[in-house]
A and B are shown apart, each in its own frame.
Chain A
Amino acid sequence: MTLYANDSDRLEPRASVENAQETEQMGTPCHPCGLDRHIDHSAYTVLDGTVKQALEIGKTRLIATGLVLSVAFFAIGVRLVDLTLLQGKTGAVTHQTAAKAPGQTVRSDITDRNGVILATSLPTASLFADARLVPDAEFAARELQKILPSKSRAELLAKLKSGKQFVWLQRHLTPRQQSQINSLGIPGLNFRREQRRFYPHGALTAHAVGFTSIDNQGLAGVEQSFDEVLNSTADPLKLSLDVRVQHIMAEELSAAMTEFSAIGAAGMVYDVQNGEVVAMVSLPSYDPNHAGSAVDDARFNRATLGVYEMGSVFKLFTAAMALDEGIVNIDDGYDTSDPIRVGRFTIRDYKPKNRWLSIPEILIYSSNIGTVHMAMEAGTSKQKAFLSNLGLTRPAHFELSEIGRPTLPSRWRDVNTMTISFGHGIAVSPLQLVRATGALVNGGELKQASLIKRSADETIPATRVISEKTSQQIRRLMRLVVLHGTGRKANAEGFMVGGKSGTAEKIRNGRYVKNARMSSFLGAFPITDPRYVVFAMIDEPKGIKRTHGFATGGWVAAPVVKRLVERMGPLVSIEPIEDHIADERIDQLLIDVTARAGGQNLASQ
């Protein structure tokens, strides 16, 4: 009936009124509960009386109310048990994360491979003003200027008079400045707690670590490439660098720079087993704590972003290609008495021997002519493929955004093949160079270079580029260069350094300049079972009296490598060995080759 009444109510308002009148006439009261709708009024009155009926109504209402209440209390009880007992565990977890929360808002640290902090966030206070509340802007500006000498009074006054609700006056105050400003007691000036990036080792690791903006956004180096990681994880980021080795490299390079009045230098130490970069130095460097005032030249990373014609160190790659492809044997050789003419170029030797040279001798005496013969016998396509396999033709895959793109000839013609064979006409970054050299000496596997420390069980992406046998031959050749050739000054006793020096004339306005060179030395040690590739490069060294006016790689960069190896060897626990025994075996190779060459030499004359 109620339903009907309601329906009609919606359809025709008038009808509902009539209905209501009808129900009134019928004498059935309309109770909200609706439980007593069908009770026959008159019948009860007769049988039990109105009192009993009222009691009945009361009873039913009480039961109904009780039911509702008990359901409500039951629900509350269930929720209580749920919160206190069942969700107790999750509560503990949220407690933990809450305790950790303040740590998460801090950008995490960057450390070296031994956990030495290279970048950290320190709490500082920054001063801002609610310009509407500052009563006397002129007075405030005058007083503040005394405390903040880096700000001009006009600038402060303009900010204080701007009427803005929030305006920065000075970020990252010193504690002294903060207390002085606080004691001024000027209303409207407030401090905000902030984090400031601090680099305890300053310029030493500047190019690897990079720096951030004033709002802690990474702008260079690892700070930039790992920006999100640093902001989201609490654990410090462990680089592969070793601050001690880094320091030795930087110190030796800068000593060489000063001695030879050079304009720059770069150095790398690269682990050939797992591809970690243990030291990466680019000089001149800058203080990342004041990165804004650094000049562009100092910010430029010569180790990864700079690409250079490397000169004679490339002869190692040419020799490796020729040996691995089976184009030459270790005891083969070429007649180097005649310069090679290609178009308008003439390729000569720096110190001509004017005779037949064996492969070891070509490297020992750094013969351009011999190397060109080797490359030409292999051919352009093989050279291109080999250098590409070594990763020298495309930008290195590395954890920095400052990565240089190698400069290649636009068309790889014969003349390019010739010059590239001794390291001219192709420019690569030191990073690419050490990675490729690592593959030459470690048994022939090109590893993925890394600036982040690798765990011991990590599998390192690697591709085979040359055979074990070729790798061993190259190692012997490198040792021979140090024993008898241009790399003699790199011979750190006991550490079995092998390597190749390089001197490249720099190009200015498309022409090679005689007196502007890149002098470098590329080495590996201990050569019997190499652990590290070491590279040192000095930009534009000038010859001095001690070196008889020479500023070549063998005179300038090789001693840097020697001192570096001598100092870092004990640090990285490489045991010095009696090098005579191993050297005798390697020397025997040269003796054998030269003995066989005796006939060749006579035949060619």
Chain B
Amino acid sequence: MSMNKLALFAWLAACAVTIWFAFHIKYKVQESKAELGIARAEMQQDREAIRVLEAEWSFLNQPSHLADLAERHLDFAPMLVEQVVHLGDIPAREVQANQVQDSDGLEDIIEDILRNAPENSKQDGKTQPGSARNVPLMRTGATQ
């Protein structure tokens, strides 16, 4: 008889656990569903924002606009035919060749370059943030 009672309790417990589990799953699903809805809405919003930004990017990249900016802020000029040469046509640097005449390796050349470099790199580099760039790359709010 006690065996039967034990079985009964076991079944009841199993029932309770199953019911609890079922409800647990149900609420979990509801919760996930709500989250999914929010995520989808966010995705949709982001997608729309991306569309707007891409359109704006394309608008700002109008060739006429870029040409105008380049003319005002850059020292660039249209490339001339004479400026296009083959790599093989470039004459070897005679001056440098003389300087490194008695050295015998790439290391010496690099060392030589590094020795001459610092003055230039310090002027242009970011080590002096106070120095204003004469040629701003983009017309941003900061430079205007």
Contacts and interface: CB of A to CB of B under 8 A. Distances in A.
Interface of A: 99, 102-103, 106, 116-118, 120-123, 198, 200-202, 204, 243-244, 246-248, 251, 493-495, 566-567, 570, 575-576
B99 to A, nearest CB: 33
A173 to B, nearest CB: 15
Interface stretch (B14-22, B58-66, B109-117): B58-66
A288 to B, nearest CB: 13
Nearest to A493: B81
A356 B85 CA distance: 44
A570 B47 contact: no
Contacts of A495: 81
A200 to B, nearest CB: 4
Contacts of A566: 78, 81
Contacts of A102: 44, 47
Interface string B49-80: 00110111111011110010000000000110
Interface centre among A122, A493, A567 (most CB of B within 10 A): A122
Interface string B70-103: 0000000011010010000000000000000000
Given A121-B51, A201-B58, A576 B84 contact: yes
B55 A570 contact: no
A198 B55 contact: yes
B36 to A, nearest CB: 10
Contacts of B44: 102
Interface of B: 40, 43-44, 47-48, 51-52, 54-59, 61-64, 67, 78-79, 81, 84
A488 B74 CA distance: 33
Given A493-B81, A570-B84, A576-B84, A200 B58 contact: yes
Nearest to A98: B40
24 contacts: A99-B40, A102-B47, A103-B47, A106-B51, A116-B58, A117-B55, A117-B57, A117-B58, A118-B58, A120-B54, A123-B48, A123-B51, A200-B55, A200-B58, A201-B59, A202-B62, A204-B64, A243-B63, A246-B63, A247-B62, A493-B81, A494-B81, A567-B78, A570-B79
Contacts of B64: 204, 247, 251
Nearest to B55: A120
A248 B58 CA distance: 17
A122 B52 contact: yes
B55 A122 contact: yes
A575 B84 contact: yes
A99 B67 CA distance: 41
A121 to B, nearest CB: 7
Contacts of B58: 116-118, 120, 200-201
Interface centre among B51, B52, B62, B78 (most CB of A within 10 A): B51
Contacts of A123: 48, 51-52
A204 B61 CA distance: 12
A122 B44 CA distance: 13
Contacts of A202: 62
A251 B66 CA distance: 13
Contacts of B59: 200-201
A34 to B, nearest CB: 36
Contacts of B61: 116
A494 B81 CA distance: 7
Contacts of A116: 58, 61
A117 B63 contact: no
A117 B78 contact: no
Given A99-B40, A494-B84, A566-B78, 17 more contacts: A120-B54, A120-B58, A121-B51, A122-B48, A122-B51, A123-B51, A200-B58, A200-B59, A201-B58, A202-B62, A247-B64, A248-B63, A493-B81, A566-B81, A567-B78, A570-B84, A576-B84
A457 B51 CA distance: 31
A450 to B, nearest CB: 23
A263 to B, nearest CB: 22
A544 B57 CA distance: 41
B125 to A, nearest CB: 31
Contacts of B62: 200-202, 204, 247
Given A99-B40, A116-B61, A204-B62, A576 B81 contact: yes
Contact of B63 (A122, A198, A244): A244
A111 to B, nearest CB: 9
B89 to A, nearest CB: 11
Contacts of B56: 200
A126 B83 CA distance: 55
A102 to B, nearest CB: 5
Contacts of B63: 204, 243-244, 246-248
A246 B62 CA distance: 11
A246 B78 CA distance: 17
A403 B19 CA distance: 72
3 tightest A-B CB contacts, nearest first: A247-B63, A494-B81, A200-B58
Contacts of B67: 247
Contacts of B84: 494, 570, 575-576
Nearest to B84: A576
B124 to A, nearest CB: 27
A120 B52 CA distance: 9
B55 to A, nearest CB: 5
A434 B64 CA distance: 26
Given A244-B63, A575-B84, A120 B51 contact: yes
Contacts of A493: 81
A132 B110 CA distance: 84
A457 to B, nearest CB: 28
Contacts of B43: 99
Contacts of B55: 117, 120, 122, 198, 200
A104 B54 CA distance: 18
A198 B58 CA distance: 11
Nearest to A121: B51
A248 B67 CA distance: 10
A475 to B, nearest CB: 21
A576 B83 CA distance: 10
Contacts of A244: 63
Nearest to B39: A99
